[in-house]
Amino acid sequence: MKRFVVISMLVLNGGVAHADPLSGTKIIVLGNARGERVEIGKVVFTPEDGGVSRFEVTMDARLEEYFLAMRPFRCLTGATQRLCHFPVAREAPRVSEGDLVPLEYALMFMRTPPASLHVDPFNGVYYRMKVVDGHIEGQLNDVDMDPFITPDNVPPERRIRPLRDSDLSPGDPATHWMPRLFIE
């Protein structure tokens, strides 16, 4: 009987069984077209009612700590670029398949040249996320991080989610070391 249930589930799902992308422990991976993939952390999703999941992100120890612009950053350094994690938590860490913005904010970065001692808030990296085939994919966008650095410049009604679509511009994969994010 168990074999029939498993086979039936595979047939109904087109031959592939997909796990819930917003449940359990998943790895966070950055990647590029050259096939480089670097695991940078984990996210634990805990399902709640109504298709919502609470999440907690833990960055991997391979991200080195740097003191840049008078604050500590956890960074991943490659030959052409350093990506420094710049998490923003303005609301409860809860997501649904239709609203991944809190997770997007938790996985923002600033990019610098590899040997730079400074960060420029204009060089923000924002991964717009969506659920694709049972996992989460993030597409690269460039963003000015100023709304997070100087929140007093943001109108009160936008302080929790200060970014608008017009604040994001598609990043050029040719000028970014790791233009893709995967949660799998």
Query: What pTM value is reported for the model?
Result: 0.86
62 vs 13, residue with greater confidence? 62
Of 178, 142, 174, the C-alpha closest to 32 is 178
| Span 115-170, pLDDT tens digits | 888 888 889 999 999 999 999 999 999 999 888 877 777 788 888 899 999 999 99
- Average pLDDT estimate for 67-93: 90
The answer, yes or no, to whether residue 9 has pLDDT greater than 60, is no
Contacts of 129 (CB under 8 A, 6+ apart): 100, 103, 104, 136, 137, 138, 139, 181, 183
**Coil/strand/helix, residue 42:** strand
The answer, yes or no, to whether residue 67 has pLDDT greater than 90, is no
The DSSP secondary-structure symbol of 93 reads S
Q: For residues 129 and 101, what is the distance between their CA atoms, to the nearest angstrom?
A: 8
| Span 15-53, pLDDT tens digits | 444 579 999 999 999 999 999 999 999 999 999 999 999
